[in-house]
Amino acid sequence: MKVKVEKQDLLQLISKTQNIVEKRNTMPVLANVLLEAKDNSLRVYATDLEVSLTDDISAEIEEPGSVAISAKNLFEIVRELSEGTVQLIKNQNSWLTLKQRKSVFNIVGIPAEEFPIFPSYTTKEFVKIHPEVLADMIEKTIYSISNDETRYNLNGVYFEQKQTEEGMHYRMVATDGHRLSLVDRQSQSKTKEPKSSEGVIIPRKGLQEIRKLLEQSKEQIEMAFEGSQFILKGQSTLLLIRLIEGKYPNYQQLIPKNMKRTVLVPRETLTSSLRRVSLLSNQKSKSVTLTLNPGLMQISSNNPEMGDAKEEIEVDYKGEELKIGFNAKYLLDILNSIHDESIRIELNDQLSPGLIAPKGDSNYTCVVMPMRI
């Protein structure tokens, strides 16, 4: 293998693999990426057996070939090179030589045959979706994913897609048992009804890689499901994600109905107030108390070891007085995912969950469990 490639193109290609490669030593081979040179392009493969990515760049191929090389070492060396052309040469012992002007690096590699078999797919039932729509849905749900590995079916986002008369309807739901985020979006693109209309669970790491891919895509991307695999295609990049197997809980039961009290609050005012007041909250529970009176919301915190804080903001509320406690971090996560100027908070009593949504978007709903005060 002998290849000439531009440094910036190579750096961009290798950087996409950095968070996918397995950093733990359970399978040392997964810390490598596979480089394959043929047909005027240099292709990279990276996998941790759950999330797999492949992409390519244009290159001048003097001799085709392939080699597996440490993703971290390769990335750090290429990052420090000067701008311009880089030459990659595979040696007899599967070492890889990088040359640029007077710089020469010899990196220990392994034969391409030792790299795991890269996943494949056969489905042609792809659905087109705009990157901004999917990125927005991920932003509005990813923070609610559970970190509890014993509840593995909550370690991802539940995703549904259905064909309607208006086009494709998408839904994402995430919950960790203390909060829930649900977002619905509609796409104009029409396609055949997907084989499986049942929802799937996409793991957190997969969602993080999808989000990165979406940031670099300007045009519509394509996605499909096949067996226990989620497939995403964008320009030259292909992302394959192993879905979480298991049944997602009945999230509809967690969404409260017939709320008695409604408060309209300016989002930025509430966000900055919560940030300040939570500085003196219990550092573990992040508990703050919201006290509602007509036209007014008081936000307070109390930590015997640090002190206490309270702040008042004007709100649109006409109901009776109510005191309710929440985890400030949970509230801030929701507020940071909303871009409307005003938000709607719906409450029943101090022991019932609260419902938070943007004032102008009925397709995004968040539920937060209260804390004892």
SS3 353: coil
The tokens 């649900």 sit on which residue?
182
Q: Nearest Cα to 278, choosing from 331, 350, 323, 351?
A: 331
Handedness of CA 54, 55, 58, 59 (dihedral sign): negative
Cα atoms found within 13 Å of the Cα of residue 257, Cβ hemisphere only: 2
d(CA 305, CA 67): 58
Q: What are 98-115's pLDDT values in tens digits?
A: 999 999 999 999 999 999
Q: Spell out the alpha helix ranges (H) of 181-237.
A: 204-215
Q: At what angle do helices 131-139 and 204-215 cross, to 10 degrees?
A: 140
d(CA 168, CA 188): 7
Query: In this structure, how many other beta carbons lie within 10 angstroms of the beta carbon of residue 99?
Result: 15
What per-residue confidence (pLDDT) applies to 38? 94
Give the pLDDT confidence score for residue 16 in this predicted structure: 94
According to the model, what pLDDT value does residue 195 have?
A: 45
Token pair belonging to 93: 């012992």
Domains and CATH numbers, the chain: 2-114 (3.10.150.10), 127-251 (3.10.150.10), 255-368 (3.10.150.10)
Q: Among candidates 328, 320, 327, which has minimal Cα distance to 347?
A: 320
- Helices 7-15 and 71-80 cross at an angle (nearest 10°) of 150
Question: What integer pLDDT is reported at residue 196 of this predicted model?
Answer: 46
Q: Which two tokens stand for residue 116?
A: 């795991």
CA distance 157 to 252: 15
Q: What is the pTM of this model?
A: 0.91
Report percent pLDDT > 70 for the chain: 97
pLDDT tens track of the chain, all 373 residues?
999 999 999 999 999 999 999 777 678 899 999 999 999 999 999 999 999 999 999 999 999 999 999 999 999 999 999 999 999 999 989 999 999 999 999 999 999 999 999 999 999 989 899 999 999 999 999 999 999 989 999 999 999 998 887 778 999 999 999 999 999 998 766 555 544 457 999 999 999 999 999 988 878 899 999 999 999 998 899 999 999 999 999 999 999 999 999 999 999 999 999 999 999 999 899 999 999 999 999 999 999 999 999 999 999 999 999 999 999 999 999 999 999 999 999 999 999 999 999 998 889 999 999 998 8
